[in-house]
Structure 1
């Protein structure tokens, strides 16, 4: 199976990946629906009304098939098929991992500023209030699903939204899409931008499009300069899980919701230092 896949053209590999992911998604959806089916429930698990009454089942029915079937399984198979094909990346070292970590921290600290920039841009379209309301409703839904700390729904949310989602998205958007584009196009920044934009659009969150694109760029660069997918997986999982913890405790730090120029200045300095370090290797003029 591995030899057959790797013998395909780059385009055929991409199409095969999408077809296999679609089949896995449908199979997972069917199996999970059968397992969770209960004729005594007064509402379908695929309706938003079920989120409050059956948070665990709602997450299993609505989130697990996509993250497991469409992203994780095909992404992990691609990883195993191309396990020894990381020669297109920069050499892995402890120092490069440290610099990759600093890059992540810089964007994490700049998140409120990037969000505010996004809001101001959207404001010109006249849809900012509508999009902000959609974000509030989305955050409220996630908060209902996560529940209180140490509840069953909290741990299920950490496993599905935190761990599985972080793992699966890194495998697909960085280890598959970015890796595949870079391998066959040999164009670093084209590969980074396509994978980052795809990652951002998947979240259907226009009010945070710029932060999501920024995270997509950073995770691709982390993978490229560290020579390993695992550092990005770790920080992606940590970021998702930390946000779930804050939502569960209803205690999001003020500097996440508001622009703090001291925090932003630290992020900018880290980013400038990183660019100076890697501008030649990444052909940044």
Structure 2
């Protein structure tokens, strides 16, 4: 859970970088289509998170946070990743291949990289722990934090959009993003080597 929170500023930088990518001039028509698809998807999400009542918040957390997190983990990490692991006989390739597919099916090219990284993180959680509960909870928490942040902005209780923390280019935000990246890497190392350990990974393999 801590990794999800620690990674927010660093992920915001990656999100901003991915969103700013442009295709070559010869592919401008394709870029227009991709951006139109991206805007439509973002518009749908913002519409679902546009409520301002407590009931709206609870429903959004249940649907977009918990239900989506559990359902996607059941399919991607619970079925697809396990299938690829068996077929490819390599956990790392299975995790990253699943993460690429996970990001691709969202049909949002300009958010592909950060979503792929989240998918890989969830994949490693499933592999390290041998359980779907951990990635499902992390996935639900990640989605729920987005929902809660947007609700606080909608209701005027917060003027700070968490999606911009670390990504505005100022010296302070660059420092925040750097600390976020270092803390995230450290937390991932701690999880993989200290919490779960090599013996547990060998058993899962």
Question: Taking CA–CA contacts closer than 8 Å with sequence separation of 6 or more, which of the two structures ends up with the larger relative contact order?
Answer: 2
| Other structure's SS at 1:110 match | helix
Query: Distance between the aligned counterparts of 1:258 and 1:131, measured in 2?
Result: 25
| Other structure's SS at 1:147 match | coil
Unpaired stretches in structure 1, ≥5 consecutive residues: 1-100
Query: Distance between the aligned counterparts of 1:128 and 1:245, measured in 2?
Result: 31
Query: Distance between the aligned counterparts of 2:180 and 2:129, measured in 1?
Result: 20
Name the structure 1 match of 2:18.
118
Counterpart of 2:165 (choices 252, 255, 261) is: 255
Residues 167 and 174 of structure 2 are in contact (CA less than 8 Å); yes or no, is this contact kept in structure 1? no
Deviation at 1:270, TM superposition (A): 2.5
Q: Between Structure 1 and Structure 2, whose CA radius of gyration is higher? A: 1
1:118-267 matches, within 5 Å, as: 118-124=18-24, 126=28, 131-132=34-35, 134-150=37-53, 152-248=55-151, 249-250=153-154, 252-253=161-162, 254-255=164-165, 258=168, 260-267=173-180
Unpaired stretches in structure 2, ≥5 consecutive residues: none
| Other structure's SS at 1:196 match | helix
Query: Distance between the aligned counterparts of 1:276 and 1:235, measured in 2?
Result: 17
| Other structure's SS at 2:131 match | coil
Query: Distance between the aligned counterparts of 2:113 and 2:15, measured in 1?
Result: 7
**160-169 or 111-120, which deviates more:** 111-120
Query: Distance between the aligned counterparts of 1:243 and 1:275, measured in 2?
Result: 22
CA displacement 1:91-138 (0-9 Å, x = unmatched): xxxxxxxxxx45444543321221133234435454667655654443
Distance 1:102 1:224, change over 3 A: farther
Residues 102 and 270 of structure 1 are in contact (CA less than 8 Å); yes or no, is this contact kept in structure 2? no
Residues 9 and 167 of structure 2 are in contact (CA less than 8 Å); yes or no, is this contact kept in structure 1? no
Query: Distance between the aligned counterparts of 1:102 and 1:241, measured in 2?
Result: 14
| Other structure's SS at 2:51 match | coil
CA displacement 1:53-75 (0-9 Å, x = unmatched): xxxxxxxxxxxxxxxxxxxxxxx
Name the structure 2 match of 1:6.
none
Residues 103 and 112 of structure 2 are in contact (CA less than 8 Å); yes or no, is this contact kept in structure 1? yes
Deviation at 1:208, TM superposition (A): 0.4
Deviation at 1:162, TM superposition (A): 1.6
